[in-house]
Amino acid sequence: MNVTSHIVAFTGLVLGTTAYADLPPVPSGQSLEVFEETFHTTTPTRRQFYLGILAPAITEGGEVGFEAANADIDVLCEDYALNKAQNPNDGLDAAHEVVIRLMDKPIKYGDSNPDIRQYMGFYDISEGLCEWH
């Protein structure tokens, strides 16, 4: 019985740690970690998928600047967020918009902090593509 409970606990740990393992490699090569993934209803008929990513390399004086971070955000939309936004696991409608925020330190959706470096991308995905807007 103990062996079974250890296997179940181990399996749960593996599933918990691999939930975001499918982040694609990005052009800058920086290390990324998903901090927050959420859906938000913006109007009665529209939803937004928000992806908050920890990206320590964008810190002031870091290895990744504005242009490289924006290229990374485009890849994250096309190769990760688009699929998540179009196939929500909450039983509700797909999102119409994707918002991606790279941040050098954790900050929750809707919060602001001038001491945290952030780059954001906003995409209309109503046509099935990541179209910057």
Classify 44 as helix, strand or coil. Answer: coil
8 within domain boundaries: no
Give the pLDDT confidence of 19-34 residue by residue, as tens digits.
Answer: 445 899 999 999 999 9
15 within domain boundaries: no
Single pTM value for the model: 0.82
Distances, alpha carbon 17 to alpha carbons 37, 42, 43, 117, in Å: 15, 30, 33, 26
2 within domain boundaries: no
How many residues would you count in the chain?
133
3 within domain boundaries: no
Give the pLDDT confidence of 104-123 residue by residue, as tens digits.
Answer: 999 999 999 999 999 999 99
59 within domain boundaries: yes
14 within domain boundaries: no
Give the pLDDT confidence of 54-105 residue by residue, as tens digits.
Answer: 999 999 999 999 999 999 999 999 999 999 999 998 888 999 999 999 999 9
105 within domain boundaries: yes
Q: What is the dihedral of CA 23, 72, 131, 18, to 10 degrees?
A: 10
The residue segments making up the domain with residue 57 are: 24-132
Show the beta-strand stretches assigned E in 10-133. 33-43, 46-54, 97-103, 118-124, 131-132
